[in-house]
Amino acid sequence: MKLLPTLFAGVAIALSAVAAQAEVRFGVMNESYPPFFAKDASGQWQGWEIDLMNAVCEEMKEKCSIVEISWDGLIPALESKKFDVIWSSMSNTAERSKVIDFTDKYYNTPSRLIGPKDQKPGATAEDVKGKTIGIQVSTIQSEYYKKYFAAAAGEKTYQTLDEAFQDLASGRIDYVFGDSLALDAFLKSDAGKDCCANMGDVADDKEILGAGVSGGLRKEDTELKAKLNKAIAAVRANGQYDAITKKYFDFDIYGAK
């Protein structure tokens, strides 16, 4: 019987260790992607996706942290267990689903072209014929370009959208192709509103452009997926999703599909 206090103490220590390891690590691209995520002056992450992450974590009653990774390193880092879930405006596509799993969608927006103000609007292969399109590497827009635009237009790839925006503003490329919200944020900036305009949304292709933005998970992490899906649904049902969205957008970004 004298061993029991020692045994219970050992169990308590073990349980404490398990609780300490319950932190869910969210992988976020290590560059600003406003209004979804960006660092403030003090170096803290903020934005729509960060607020949603915090609401989801509160709903799960889990402690959460952010791990910064380059965009094209997110999936490899997830697979090597440097974090637990990609939470970085990643679209759920058929190609990515071969490698990783996804939560339910938490937003969905169209893909768009922007160009100089004097450029004739249009977002088809005929409209971009003979032009150069700037695209961030390892994105759904990169795959869309290969299928729909490669025969008509040239491509210049970038590690970040900011680099593409700089080249567009200076006239080194003719278009930037990306998610509509990120492009709209640039068009509202001082540099963007002086030079550029919306050229139009491209025709949808669900196989390439995906079924919306979701959290990316390792295929074996079924328990975490279930918890995240339950939390996302709860945050949408209890009004937190709408309250967060109204801080950043004047329209519903959840999308119909």
User: 65: closest CA among 53, 55, 77, 48?
Assistant: 53
- pLDDT of 256 reads 56
Q: Is 108 helix (H, G, I), strand (E, B) or coil?
A: coil
- pLDDT of 119 reads 94
- pLDDT of 251 reads 86
Provide long-range contacts, Cβ within 8 A and 24+ apart, for 30-34: 30/68, 30/69, 30/70, 31/70, 31/71, 31/160, 31/162, 32/162, 33/88, 33/89, 33/161, 33/182, 34/182, 34/185
> Cβ contacts of residue 206 below 8 Å, gap of 6+?
257
Distance CA 139, CA 210 (A): 11
The pLDDT profile of the chain, 257 residues, written as one tens digit per residue, is 344 444 444 444 444 333 444 699 999 999 999 899 999 999 999 999 999 999 999 999 999 999 999 999 999 999 999 999 999 999 999 999 999 999 999 999 999 999 999 999 999 999 999 999 999 999 999 999 999 999 999 999 999 999 999 999 999 999 999 999 899 999 999 999 999 999 999 999 999 999 899 999 999 999 999 999 999 999 999 999 999 999 999 888 998 54
| Residue 145 DSSP class | I
- pLDDT of 11 reads 44
CA 33 to chain centroid, in Å, comes to 8
Contact 106, 214 (CB under 8 A): yes
- pLDDT of 255 reads 81
User: 67: closest CA among 37, 94, 40?
Assistant: 37
- pLDDT of 4 reads 40
Q: Where are the beta strands (DSSP E) in the chain?
A: 24-29, 38-39, 45-46, 64-69, 85-86, 101-107, 111-116, 132-136, 154-158, 175-179, 196-201, 213-217
- What is the pTM (predicted TM-score) of this model? 0.76
